[in-house]
A and B are shown apart, each in its own frame.
Chain A
Amino acid sequence: MMNDKQSGSISGGEQNHGSHALARAVHWTLLIGLLFSALLMIVGLFVAIAKDQPRPESLINSVRELLRMGGEGNGVAWMELGVLMLLATPVLRVIVLAIGWSLQRDGRMALVALVVLLLLAVSVVLSVG
């Protein structure tokens, strides 16, 4: 059987790393994130249309402020929260994989996932700056 990692053959394939559970975790993370963001956007759209709310001149960057505005019935704030939730979904997927690979004691892949997370963090920092 060709399962010698040293020879560069098929030993580290998806299934050999017991990744079925991890794949399911990623599947549900993506699905729940997507549905939750869609729900926020749908609610926001209906509220904004029903109340004929104007689009703000600039984006609100504070999640706390968005939640406050959403609580006051601002549909656009809900839409923006939905967009943020959508952006958070792939980030959560990377976090799930980083944790999963760490639990599987796959240090190299956990490190790779952490590097990707670091790059996403750089993007957030650049966007705020």
Chain B
Amino acid sequence: MYATLSNIWFLIAAGVGTGILGAILGTGGGVFLIPLLLLAFHVPMHYAVATSIISVVATSSAVASVNVERGTANMRLGMTLEIATALGAIVGGWTAGLIPAPALETLFAISLLPTAVLMWRGVTESANDSVDLSGGTLTPALSQRERGNTFIGSLAGRYFDPRRGREIVYRIRRLWAGLGISFIAGNLSGLLGIGGGVFKVPALHLACGVPIKAAAATSNFMIGVTATASAFLYFGRGEIRPALTAGVALGVMAGSAIGSWISPKVQGRQVKRLFAVLLFGVAVQMFLRVFK
């Protein structure tokens, strides 16, 4: 196979489309990229997963660089949870090497179903999740043990929310749950080449009390390291193809930039629901491909 004009522009275009979708829907884009590479470009599953993982590193780095400067990504919490995500990603990346392509495709198709459901439902923020600095009490409520834990206390965060017009302050509860969720998300990322943010963000919000905006930014911050942890394994197995990966990654970088610009204009529940249906259709298509 040669890196020729005839195929490289299509790959770049696929990357651009994935990047735009990822930015609009708030996902890493892997859930769309892998089926596209698989069904339209006939790329073998393990190569598609490896390409997706590299693209996820690109989008995560681009988005995280902005969120870190804005202060929405909680670097201390993110780094702590990265211990679990990196561990999970290494296990997932290693396991992927042992699983035959049809089984991996089936697992991927299965993972699309809850992704589609979560995308359809969306996540709404509870008003009690955080307080402004002038507030009398801090939520979420912590257990006695958590109140005495200085490390958990040091993971608390704050950011300015322009929509609410005030500074949001929050603290972390149930760190153990966050670590568990992160391990599973890292495992899925390493195994299936997805960012896992669609699972991690609602889980961090509901289990650990992190506001949605901070959970999304922190999740994205973590994804770069998570994906890198498994990418090395794919690299070692020779499943990262330079021309394929470079074409798609460049497209994704450009698409993410375009998507970030478009996103505020098309943001809406209906758009997410439309793509949730599309994702469900993709899952069905993948099941048919595996079982035909």
A interface residues with partner B (beta carbon < 8 Å): 2, 5-15, 17, 19, 22-24, 26-28, 30-31, 33-34, 37-38, 41-42, 44-45, 48-49, 52-55, 58-59, 61, 75-76, 79-80, 82-83, 86-87, 89-91, 93-94, 97, 108-109, 112-113, 115-116, 119-120, 122-124, 126-129
Contact = CB atoms under 8 A, between A and B. Distances in A.
A126 B230 CA distance: 10
B58 A34 contact: yes
Contact of B86 (A2, A52, A116): A116
B3 A45 contact: yes
A41 B75 contact: no
A12 B68 contact: no
A37 to B, nearest CB: 8
Given A41-B246, A87-B232, A116-B79, A9 B138 contact: yes
A91 B226 CA distance: 10
A54 B3 CA distance: 7
B3 A15 contact: no
B276 interface: no
B181 interface: no
A8 B235 contact: no
Given A12-B153, A23-B75, A124-B232, A83 B147 contact: no
B47 to A, nearest CB: 12
Contacts of A115: 83
A10 B169 contact: yes
A82 B224 CA distance: 16
Given A30-B68, A49-B8, A7 B57 contact: no
Interface in B225-249: 225, 227-233, 235-238, 240-243, 245-247, 249
Contacts of B171: 8-10
Contact of B3 (A7, A53, A127): A53
Interface in B127-157: 138, 142, 146-157
A113 B79 contact: yes
Given A58-B238, A108-B151, A13 B157 contact: yes
Interface in B1-34: 1-5, 8
27 contacts: A2-B138, A8-B142, A8-B150, A8-B171, A9-B171, A10-B156, A11-B154, A14-B75, A23-B68, A26-B64, A26-B65, A27-B69, A28-B65, A30-B224, A44-B246, A53-B2, A76-B242, A79-B3, A83-B54, A87-B228, A90-B224, A112-B79, A113-B79, A123-B232, A126-B94, A127-B232, A127-B235
Given A38-B250, A109-B79, 10 more contacts: A11-B153, A14-B76, A23-B75, A55-B243, A76-B243, A83-B235, A83-B249, A87-B228, A126-B94, A129-B236
